[in-house]
Amino acid sequence: MSFQFSFADSAELELEDDHVSSSPAPQEAQQQPEERVDSDHQQPLARELPFHHLLETLPPSLSYSPISIPLDPSSPSSSQPRPILHLARRDLFDARFQILHDDDDDENDDDGDEQPPHPTADEKTNNNNNTLTRTLHNLKLRDDPATEAAAVGADSDLVPGVYEGGLKTWECAADLIAELHARTSDGRLEFGGGKKVIELGCGTALPSMYVLSQLLSQESPPSAESTIELHLADFNPQVLRLVTLPNLILTWFFSSPAALPFHHEQPTPSDHPTQEAPKSTTTPNKSPEHPGDLELSPALLSAFQEDLAARKIRLRFFSGPWSSLADVLFPPPSSDDADGDGDERRREYDVVLSSETVYSLSTLPSLVDILHVCCTASASASAQHQHQHQHQHQQRAQGEVAQASPPQKTDTLCLVAAKVLYFGVGGGVHSFINAVQSSRKASGGYAHVVRELNVGVGRAVLQTGWSSTSSA
């Protein structure tokens, strides 16, 4: 029997071990464990997607459903039930329908036809039966009939080099959230204060949703120089616009006090396009524990952006393969960097997160390389920040007005969540550990298990890093 990434929709976490079949594994599993090179086609280069451009691609509304994530109890000896974190994520059928609708828009633009009205959830579901072919057609990254034919004919939602499964929520993302929550609860980890965070292979971005919810729960206003960077990277740019950004907007809607005025403007579950809903003097409370729809009005999107700006939270989005991502995350200095901003951009991340990204043996080396770069990209920049911190302390001791500077850098926290083995694909926890320890570009690597789950297919969260003597 072989492991297969299922493209089936689900109201809860997709448990891949429940979708084991004898179907052929993706072609990736036949590759040797080295970087895949295609002589006929070059992978697209990584690039940054401007935030405002992604906002312009949003649909008029989002359909969402809750996802429930068990967290660690407050005490190991506690007899209380495990606390549950509820997050609202965009429905997969809703994202698929947007792909179909966007494609229909293109055809209607050519024909001059009138645009159809925004559909109901039932209409979206009815049109969802034949979306695999259209989804892969719209997600392909190069105009190649042969590649497209292979993609749309694959009995899998993993098409190497074309679509890497980012539209679905994979269960290791929940494990990563549980580990983050455990660390924030006992004080080992805190967000804010100028932190720089990235999620690699974000897809539906559940871990980043948790980080954003933590940032939005902070009441103290940010200091003048404490901009918080939250970066999200996925192979497919379409994944970023279809699920990543929508899920962050949903997180803001259910987490920030600034979103409360818009709760009263949202449709209620009783709304129906063909019958008049009974009038009510009370407005039901919106909750991430229940499915619903979110109208993305211009006022709501403006409030979303203004609230992030007021809290000094900066979202950035990147697409493309691991192999060229470092050039975009850490661009070389230019003549415009005379004021020192270039050093700040090249500063390594405080927190690096990744889940379900170690399944492919062929891309493990480039994944390890980008993890290493994100953790150690700026030893010189960190030294500069430490010098600034010491200088600021001296200024205060002498009664001078200290110039604000970023906080002193500590070691990067890098957490990678994965299954012990991805059957039929080849990767897994042990392959990842070996890749980290044997990397030719980054010596001194380590990866040890900090959380382990043995239900179904074994899963683990690993803390990864590199010693100070490792190569850059």
Tens digits of residue pLDDT in 207-243: 999 999 999 998 766 665 689 999 999 999 999 999 9
Cα–Cα distance between 81 and 360 in angstroms, integer?
A: 37
- Residue 148: the pLDDT is 38
**Domain residue spans in the chain?**
24-35+43-76+164-265+287-332+341-466
Residue with tokens 């999620």, as numbered in its chain:
199
Sequence-ordered strand ranges (E) for 400-440 = 413-419
Grade residue 336 by pLDDT with cuts at 50, 70 and 90. Answer: low
- Residue 141's pLDDT is what? 39
Residues 429, 192: Cα–Cα separation, whole Å: 30
Q: What is the mean pLDDT of the chain?
A: 76
Distance, in Å, from the CA atom of 35 to the CA atom of 294, rounded to the nearest integer, reads: 42
- In the sheet with 292-295, reading across from the earlier edge strand, the strands are 84-90, 61-70, 292-295
Question: What's 24-35+43-76+164-265+287-332+341-466's CATH class?
Answer: alpha beta
The C-alpha atoms of residue 263 and residue 11 are separated, in whole angstroms, by 23
Q: What is the dihedral of CA 241, 247, 250, 255, to 10 degrees?
A: -130
Nearest to 404 by CA among 423, 385, 428, 432: 385
Q: Are 256 and 216 in contact (CB under 8 A)?
A: yes
pLDDT band at 32 (very low <50, low <70, confident <90, very high): very low
**Surface-to-core class of residue 184, CB atoms within 10 Å of its CB (0-12 exposed, 13-18 middle, 19+ buried):** middle
Q: Are 377 and 195 in contact (CB under 8 A)?
A: no
Contact 35, 363 (CB under 8 A): yes
Instruction: Indicate the pairing of strand 228-234 with strand 313-319.
Output: parallel
Q: How far is CA 251 from CA 61, 64, 264, in A?
A: 15, 11, 17
Residues 6+ apart with CB under 8 A from 75: none
Higher pLDDT among residues 163 and 337, named by residue:
163
Q: How far apart are CA 80 and CA 143, in angstroms?
A: 55
- 10 Å Cβ neighbour count for 243? 27
* Mean pLDDT of all residues in 98-118: 60
Q: What's this model's pTM, rounded to 2 decimal places?
A: 0.77
144-174 confidence digits (pLDDT tens): 444 333 333 444 556 766 777 788 898 999 9
pLDDT at 267: 67
SS3 375: helix
Contact between 316 and 231 (Cβ < 8 Å): yes
Residue 132 has pLDDT above 70, yes or no: no
The average pLDDT across 186-193 equals: 87
HSE, side-chain direction, 13 A CA sphere, residue 402: 17
The whole-angstrom separation of Cα 43 and Cα 36 is: 10
Q: What share of the chain in percent tops pLDDT 70?
A: 61
Task: Kindly give the pairing relationship between strand 228-234 and strand 196-200.
Answer: parallel
Q: Is 275 strand, coil or helix?
A: strand
pLDDT(33) > 50: no
Give dist(CA 85, CA 229) in Å, integer.
24
Q: Which residues pair with 285 in a beta bridge?
A: none
Per-residue pLDDT, averaged over 337-364, amounts to: 80
E strand or H helix that includes residue 315: strand 313-319
